[in-house]
Amino acid sequence: MKTSGFSLIEVLVATAVLTLGVASLAQVIVVSARANRIANTTSTALLLAERKMEELVVETGSGPSPPDALVVNTPGFTDYLDANGVSLGVAPAVPPPGVGFICRWSIDPLPGSQANTRVFQVLVFNWPQHAAEARLVAVKFQKTS
């Protein structure tokens, strides 16, 4: 006696294979969403670092920074920014609420060169995760008249 259609076992096997495929895709979606979020945060950190670097290079009256300005939050060499990159004002030693990024910078004379050559370093990272970071370095030589 021949009947058309699928047996119960065939349906269960097909359902199990389909479930495994969908579960695998769900994991891929979660991983790609996390990678996308980190890439977006890194891009924002890079844009903020570029903006600060442009500010520093244009300024001419900045003196040398403390040796640990890129490691600890140093007043005058640290800026706290919200998630959109807007400055939250004066930089205390402890990040205030609402901080999305911390920007630190240093200005130092270039070792072994003339006194009018300076090295600018900018470090921006997201707070509090510290999952994304951007670091820029520039050297500026000023001609003396």
The answer to whether residue 90 scores a pLDDT higher than 90 is no
Q: Which of 27-31, 71-75, 78-82, 113-117 has the lowest mean pLDDT?
A: 113-117
Which pLDDT band holds residue 129 (cuts at 50, 70, 90)? Answer: confident
Per DSSP, the three-state class of 56 is helix
User: For strand 101-109 and strand 117-126, is the pairing parallel, antiparallel, or unpaired?
Assistant: antiparallel
As a whole number of angstroms, the distance between CA 83 and CA 100 comes to 4
Query: What is the percent of the chain with per-residue pLDDT over 70, rounded to a whole number?
Result: 91
Per-residue pLDDT averaged across 91-102, rounded? 83
Confidence of residue 115 (pLDDT cuts 50, 70, 90): low
